[in-house]
Amino acid sequence: MAFSKRVYRSLPFELVEEILKKTPAESLNRFKSTCKQWYGIITSKRFMYNHLDHSPERFIRIDDHKTVQIMDPMTGIFSDSPVPDVFRSPHSFASMVHCDGLMLCICSDSSYERTREANLAVWNPVTKKIKWIEPLDSYYETDYFGIGYDNTCRENYKIVRFFDDTECEIYEFKSDSWRTLDTKYWDVYTQCRGVSVKGNMYWIADTKEKFILRFDFSMETFKNVCVCPPIGCTGRLGCFSGDRLSLLLQDTDFGGEEEVSTDIAVWLTNKLSDEVVSFTKHFNVTSPHLPLLQCHGDMARPGYFIGDHKNILAWCEGEVEEDDKWYTCITLYQIDQCGIRKQIETGRHRSFRYLDPFICSYVYVPSLIPVPE
C-alpha cells in the first residue's frame, strides 16, 4: 500500500491513468482498493468506457455448466472460476449476448421442461454482479433477445425481446420495466442469435433473400441494413474492428454418416455508420481437415472472431475416439488462408455425460461497466 502511494505521488496523474488504461480489467477490479486516487480513476465512468474501448477481445465459455473460462485467443492462455451459484440448475445457460462487457444470459429452466420457459439475467463476469430481469409474463428459449444502448447516452442500456411473429417488447434499466413496441420485424435466421455492435443489435433475417436486420435502440425500430451474400447450410454473424460486421460461411458435406467440413468464406461490411452498407468478400480458406464452425450433431456451436490479418480464431468442440471411448474435445484453432496454423486442446469430457450451452464460446471484452440497477 505504501509503495503504491509513493509510486502514485512520483508520477504525473496522466501517466498513472495511462498505465491503468493498459491494465486488464480483472486486475483493475482488485486495484480499486489500493488507494483513494486509484479508486477515483478506476471507478470514473469516463475511464471505464475509455478502458473498455481500448481492451482486446477475449473468448468466454461455460464449461460443463460448472466453470467460467476466459481465454486470450492470441496466446491460448485462459483463466477459470466457478459458475455463480445462481446460474446452476435449474437456471442453466441456453445462450448469451455481449455488450460492453455485460452478458445478457438466456437461461433454460429445467423445472419447466415441457414449455421450455426461460429466465433472463445481465451479468458482468469481472465484477461478479448479476441482475435478474423479470418478464411481463414469461420468457421462452425460442424468443429472440438483444442488448444495446441509446446512442445519445451510452449508459442507457436496454433489452429487446421479440417472439410469436407478432410481439415485440423493450426493457429499460433506468425505469426497470418492459413496454410493448408497435414496430415491424422479420423472421430471423434460426442459426443466428445476433450480435451487438455500437449499441445496436444485428441478426440475419430469413425471408426470400437473407439480409441484415438491425434494431436501433435509440429510435427503437427495426431496419433492413443490407443484403447478405448467398448462405448455404450456415452463416455466422460477428463484429469486426468494433464498427463492422463479419459473416462466416461454411457448408457441410456428408461423408458416409459423418458431417465433413468444407471451405470457409469470410465477408465483411464497411462501417455500419456509413450511409450505404454492403458486404465484400474478405478471404477464403481452402484446406482439408477444417473444423466445423457451425452447429453439428450434439456439439455446441463454436465461438469465433476474425483477426486483423485475414485469420480466424475459433474455440470449438469435436469428437475423438480413444481406446474405444468417445470424448468431446474443446480446441482453440488459429486458421488462415492456408488452413489450420495452430490448434490447442483446452479440455475434454466423456461424450455420453457432456452437456453444454447452445453456443460453445462467445467473443467478449472484459470491463468494469457496472450492471445497471
Return the exposure string of 19-45: e unless at least 16 CB atoms fall within 10 Å of the residue's CB, then b.
ebeeeebbebbebeebbeebeebbeee
How confident is the model at residue 284, as a pLDDT?
A: 95
Measured over the CA atoms of residue 26, residue 27, residue 33 and residue 37, the dihedral's sign is negative
Under 8 Å between Cβ of 203 and 194: yes
Please report, for the chain, how many H helices and E strands are present, in that order: 5, 25
CB 259 within 8 A of CB 252: yes
What is residue 298's predicted lDDT score, i.e. its pLDDT?
56
Write the pLDDT tens digit of every residue in 325-351: 888 888 999 999 999 999 999 888 876
For residue 72, give Cα distances in angstroms to 185, 224, 307, 339, 363. Answer: 36, 34, 13, 21, 10
Quickly state the pLDDT bin for 354 (edges 50, 70, 90).
very low
Quote the cell numbers at residue 308.
486483423
Half-sphere exposure of 302 (CA within 13 A, CB side): 26
State the virtual CA torsion across 46, 51, 54, 60 in degrees, nearest 10. -130
Is residue 266 a contact partner of residue 246, using CB atoms and an 8 Å limit?
yes
- Min mean pLDDT across 87-96, 98-107, 143-152, 205-214 is at 87-96
All domains of the chain, ordered by start, with CATH?
Answer: 11-54 (no CATH), 55-364 (2.120.10)
Start-to-end Cα distance in the chain: 32
**Which residues have C-beta within 8 Å of that of residue 206, sequence separation ≥ 6?**
186, 187, 188, 189, 190
DSSP string, 159-209: EEEEETTTEEEEEETTTTEEEE------PBPTT---EEETTEEEEEE-SSS
Closest CA to 263 of 335, 343, 358: 335
Cβ atoms 18, 11 nearer than 8 A: no
Nearest to 356 by CA among 298, 303, 314, 292: 298
Mean pLDDT of the chain: 86
| pTM (predicted TM-score) | 0.90
Tens digit of pLDDT for each residue in 277-325?
Answer: 999 999 999 988 888 886 555 566 788 989 988 999 999 888 888 888 8
CB atoms within 10 A of CB 369: 24
Query: What proportion of the chain, given as a percentage, has pLDDT over 70?
Result: 87
